Structure 1
Amino acid sequence: MADSEAPGLIERRFALAERGTSVRTEVLAGVTTFLTMAYIVIVNPAILGEAGMPIAAVAAATCIAAGFASIVMGLLANMPLALAPGMGLNAYFTYTVVLGMGVPWQTALGCVLISGIAFLLLTMAGIRQLIISAIPMHLLAAVAGGIGLFLAFIGLRNAGIVVTSPATSVALGDLHAPGAALALFGLVVIAALAAWKVRGAILIGILATTALAWALGQVTITPASYDLGAIAQTAFQLDLAGVFGLSGSHGLGLFEILFVFLFVDLFDNIGTLVGVTKRAGLIDAEGKIPRLNRILFTDSIATMFGSLMGTSTVTSYVESAAGVQAGGRTGLTAVVTGLLFLAATFVAPYAQFVPLAATAPALILVGALMMAPLAEIAWDDPEIAIPAFLTVAMIPLTFSIANGLAFGITAHALLKLVRGRITRLDWLLLVLAGLFVLRFAWLAAG
């Protein structure tokens, strides 16, 4: 079927038949991934705008960086991974570095560029690859499950089904509220279509929920004035000279900023990479990810390119799992997503066309389906179960893939130590655990 549907050039370039997919499936998957990620076009400018950056310029930079990075990922690595400015790191950029430490946003962009260069050097030296290989199989499965819970939690929160509570941290939201009701409608549609194994179930559900939201008057668009040329206000405005001046005016400020950009992006990226590729069935029996060097190289280039355009760290997006669930198995999915981001550059403020209530059900369903790898974990063995559980639990509860990996790896190393099962081959595992302990101590001291 894939052979008959795919033009020869595209078939050879992306090996569609080999991975059991088709052009139609990949395009649907790319559109699905884009729709679940499109919120970043609105959210990223809003967050970086608080750092004093021109909102229109950041909107354009967000689209261009995401489009460029996703297309490069598709063409270079042939993987269904889409990239965009990362949530969490954009908040750190604004609230800690710029507003908290008083660092100009131009200088903060310089820090992002240097962290991207550091990523590239770590990749070329094979260190990032070594780190991934040091993570045991049961923790890789736990990461996939933890990301599933993380995605589901984001979807439930975006829908208003789960809300913040001062008494219990989280609570059930008002299910009669328009957003929650729309999301529940979308969840029923997507789940029913998925149960009937309808191709494009997620995309159909998103579009159906969006149409209903419009029909009920629940979508209100108030776009700001926008000109594509506005990107000149942030493109190539980074201040590298100011970065190296931070050491004099901020003490360990430069080291702290670079460490966080490196550390969080590294482990968020590894976690996302493992979770999405595992869900796509692209990890081999030994737990190795194909084309890993190319994936990591793309991620490094993406961060550097994003800083030059005028946005915070660009990284692989966990929402790529939505496209994988829709059938995406090759880089064509990422290319389609990237092209849609580039097209969105011309109408960035209109990304509100698809409300969060429409994409939330997709995240909830994908989260549920990403629980499957947890069956691979030997839950009756405490030495395996405890680190795996901490990984699964801490990812959604701390809103950080990096924190989940930190707890899991540290617990795994500690249990191997106390049982006397550490070997010479575990040296990197101990180094990672030590770095995580130092990081937690540093955060506690701060």
Structure 2
Amino acid sequence: MGRINKLNQFIAVSPIGRYFKLDGSSSPLSREGTKFTTEVRAGIATFVTMAYIISVNSTIIADSGGSCECNITNPLNKSCIGDEAYEKCLGIIKHDLIISTALITCIGTAIMGLFSNLPIALAPGMGLSAYFTYTVVGFHGNGKISYKAALSAVFLEGILFVILSIFGIRQYLVRIIPMSIKTATGTGIGLFLTFIGLQKSAGIGLISYDPSTIVTLGGCPLSELDQTGKCLSHHMESATTWLGIFGFLIISILTLYKVKGSLLIGIILISVISWFKNTAFTYFPDTKTGVNRFEFFKKVADFHLLDNNLALMDFDFSTGEVWVALFTFLYVDILDTTGTLYSIAKFGGYMNHETGDFEGSTAAFICDAISISIGALFGISPVTAFMESSVGITEGGRTGITALVTAFCFGISIFFAPIFASIPPWATGPALIVIGSIMARSVRNINWDYIGDSIPAFLTIALMPLTYSIAYGLIAGIGSYIIINTTVAIIDKLTKGNIQPARKTYKGDWPDDDMSFDYNSQHLANSINLFPTWLIRSYNYLFNRNVNNNRDIPENPEIIVNDVQRSGLNFDCAV
């Protein structure tokens, strides 16, 4: 114990301790109670909790087909299911995506820790990964946009997000979106992830395609699936489906008892069971694909350059679908990142109740935005802040050292791609279902007492999974909100308030009351907490305002805090 205290003391008084503001350092803004060894432990805890993203994200994005080309000979099999050459290419793509996912998580989290000094980890968001794969690019490339064009949209989104973060436009965009839509977005994405986790390609295969009802009960062995994915017979007789259900129950029970790393434990358990050969649930069947998987698995450790998904860009923005994808990425990322960061900041005690902001907020958003563009270069969907970072905070993490330790762990995992590549979809599917249920919690924050708020929210939730598109859900929700509430406003104006909708007193505020400008205020920019601190200081300096040099700038303290609390963005897992 004495050695640990000496180590903590040594690090605290070093330049490292001063930079990261450890307790006992000479920094005037040192964070009370922070110790180096505690930060290391917290970083490891964060990694254990979110390591599942390596296998889950690579499985989802591999479903897009990546850079593989499907030579269609059968018009009824546009997805090239059963094509050995295409399946082999997909296997290689998945190996690269495992490295890409671990690499961008490592880089993004390290950037966040170094420049924002916050214990927050960045990784590809699963909701956006699902939208990227199944809506934008399409299953095995059957969408309206190519894989390369989609990556270009992600790259540009990161650049736009940097600009929005620098000038504080991010806060404004969050506030102009109706509260009911913001709240419903998390629930809709949660149901979307659950729907994916229940299917065969990236989940447990409990549901399958049916030409009459679109979806139906599945769970049949692979040999009983036709080329369209329909179960011909033997429903609920698939060993892998039942193994996936078992994994779902294991993860649910562990989560119920708040066991750290419950998702990872469930995934590892089901994966290990699936690695036994000559069983009905093996991931290494006696086929050419199964043999290739097993040969790669036996390597255990491996590293190779990203030959198939590095810097794949196609900046052809001539189609409207690319722009829809771009702005959907931007919208969801702004909501998700803003909500997650402010939730974590409040949970970790970083909020400044006088400014309504937290230390390093602008740097944190810029780090996230830069990571998005870097991730696109690695063939990855948008990166976002992960709510699992709160686990590290619970373990005592308070500085960027926690994030750096998490980044280091993900860096090591890059060399174990064969292990992560051998995690079957029925092991990761249960995690998607559980995460979906956790994200759906925000439904209780929707204003169900007023139809003008509840119907747009309901449409947003329902259409995301049913249209297999986050974008269409948002379009339906926002569009219906504008039409319904504009009609109410017009009727109210024409009748001078004599005709009122039922329960109008329950209507939520939109736009936020906090968005009004006070041009006579001494602190024009501060009054709505719209701009970042550097811009506020520049304004006050240019106009000779008397403001101290700390972040304690007089502002409305409740704007952002309340905005996040009321938005329902306090997700327990990142989108």
Q: TM-score, normalised by structure 2?
A: 0.57
Check conservation: 2:104, 2:375, Cα contact below 8 A.
yes
Structure 1 CA distance for aligned equivalents of residues 434 and 143 of structure 2: 37
- Residue matched to 1:65: 104
Residue 128, structure 1, aligned to residue 128, structure 2: no
State the shift of 1:50 in Å. 1.7
Structure 1 CA distance for aligned equivalents of residues 338 and 238 of structure 2: 36
* CA 25–214 in structure 1, closer or farther in 2 if over 3 Å, else same: farther
- Residue matched to 1:231: 306
State the shift of 1:114 in Å. 4.2
Check conservation: 1:140, 1:274, Cα contact below 8 A.
no
Q: Tell me the amino acid that sits aligned with residue 194 of structure 1.
A: T
Query: What secondary structure sits across from 1:371 in the alignment?
Result: helix
Q: Tell me the amino acid that sits aligned with residue 262 of structure 1.
A: L
State the shift of 1:185 in Å. 0.9
Aligned with 1:89 (options 127, 132, 137): 132
State the shift of 1:181 in Å. 0.8
Aligned with 2:52 (options 21, 35, 51): 35
Structure 1 CA distance for aligned equivalents of residues 403 and 217 of structure 2: 35
- Residue matched to 1:189: 250
Structure 1 CA distance for aligned equivalents of residues 474 and 33 of structure 2: 35
Aligned with 1:154 (options 181, 185, 196): 196
State the shift of 1:389 in Å. 0.8
Check conservation: 1:73, 1:295, Cα contact below 8 A.
yes
Length, aligned pairs only = 405
* CA 375–69 in structure 1, closer or farther in 2 if over 3 Å, else same: same
State the shift of 1:395 in Å. 2.4
CA deviations on 1:353-383 (whole Å, 9 max, x unpaired) are 3222222222222322333322222212101
Alignment of 1:336-351 (within 5 A): 338-351=407-420
Residue 311, structure 1, aligned to residue 379, structure 2: yes
Structure 2 CA distance for aligned equivalents of residues 401 and 383 of structure 1: 21
Structure 2 CA distance for aligned equivalents of residues 377 and 111 of structure 1: 31
Query: What secondary structure sits across from 2:447 in the alignment?
Result: coil
Structure 1 CA distance for aligned equivalents of residues 54 and 463 of structure 2: 23
State the shift of 1:58 in Å. 5.9
State the shift of 1:189 in Å. 1.8
- Residue matched to 1:369: 438
* CA 324–186 in structure 1, closer or farther in 2 if over 3 Å, else same: farther
State the shift of 1:144 in Å. 2.2
- Residue matched to 2:180: 138
Query: What secondary structure sits across from 1:164 in the alignment?
Result: strand
Q: Tell me the amino acid that sits aligned with residue 384 of structure 2.
A: S
Structure 2 CA distance for aligned equivalents of residues 401 and 282 of structure 1: 28
Aligned with 1:172 (options 209, 217, 228): 217
CA deviations on 1:88-124 (whole Å, 9 max, x unpaired) are 436778679x99999895x886665444333322333
Alignment of 1:195-234 (within 5 A): 195-215=256-276, 218-220=282-284, 221-222=293-294, 228=303, 230-231=305-306
State the shift of 1:150 in Å. 2.2
* CA 269–303 in structure 1, closer or farther in 2 if over 3 Å, else same: same
State the shift of 1:182 in Å. 1.1
Structure 1 CA distance for aligned equivalents of residues 407 and 216 of structure 2: 36
Q: Tell me the amino acid that sits aligned with residue 192 of structure 2.
A: F
CA deviations on 1:298-347 (whole Å, 9 max, x unpaired) are 33212322344x42543328xx46x3697776777865664444334333
Check conservation: 1:144, 1:271, Cα contact below 8 A.
no
Query: What secondary structure sits across from 1:419 in the alignment?
Result: helix
Alignment of 1:387-398 (within 5 A): 387-398=456-467
Q: Tell me the amino acid that sits aligned with residue 50 of structure 1.
A: C
- Residue matched to 2:499: none
CA deviations on 1:113-150 (whole Å, 9 max, x unpaired) are 44433332233333333211222333332222222222
Check conservation: 1:30, 1:332, Cα contact below 8 A.
no
* CA 219–289 in structure 1, closer or farther in 2 if over 3 Å, else same: farther
- Residue matched to 1:79: 120
Q: Tell me the amino acid that sits aligned with residue 168 of structure 2.
A: G
Query: What secondary structure sits across from 1:145 in the alignment?
Result: helix
CA deviations on 1:36-66 (whole Å, 9 max, x unpaired) are 4423335546722226998476664444234
- Residue matched to 1:436: none
Query: What secondary structure sits across from 2:208 in the alignment?
Result: strand
**Which range moved further: 46-55 or 69-78?**
46-55
- Residue matched to 1:48: 66
- Residue matched to 2:469: 400
- Residue matched to 2:483: 414
Structure 1 CA distance for aligned equivalents of residues 361 and 194 of structure 2: 27
Query: What secondary structure sits across from 1:405 in the alignment?
Result: helix
- Residue matched to 1:266: 330
State the shift of 1:173 in Å. 1.7
CA deviations on 1:52-86 (whole Å, 9 max, x unpaired) are 99847666444423431243345535435423793
- Residue matched to 2:158: 116
Q: Tell me the amino acid that sits aligned with residue 219 of structure 1.
A: Y
Alignment of 1:255-294 (within 5 A): 256=320, 259-273=323-337, 282=346, 293-294=362-363
- Residue matched to 1:250: none
Check conservation: 2:135, 2:468, Cα contact below 8 A.
no
Structure 1 CA distance for aligned equivalents of residues 147 and 265 of structure 2: 44
- Residue matched to 2:572: none
Check conservation: 1:268, 1:402, Cα contact below 8 A.
no
List runs of 5+ in structure 1 lacking aligned partners: 247-252, 430-446
CA deviations on 1:408-431 (whole Å, 9 max, x unpaired) are 22222222211118999589x9xx
List runs of 5+ in structure 2 lacking aligned partners: 24-29, 71-88, 220-235, 285-292, 494-508, 516-575
Structure 1 CA distance for aligned equivalents of residues 62 and 330 of structure 2: 23
Q: Tell me the amino acid that sits aligned with residue 164 of structure 1.
A: Y
CA deviations on 1:164-206 (whole Å, 9 max, x unpaired) are 2222122222233122111111122222233344444333323
Structure 2 CA distance for aligned equivalents of residues 63 and 134 of structure 1: 35
* CA 327–406 in structure 1, closer or farther in 2 if over 3 Å, else same: farther
* Percent of residue pairs bearing the same amino acid type: 27
Query: What secondary structure sits across from 1:171 in the alignment?
Result: strand
Q: TM-score, normalised by structure 1?
A: 0.71
Q: Tell me the amino acid that sits aligned with residue 488 of structure 2.
A: R
Check conservation: 2:43, 2:406, Cα contact below 8 A.
no
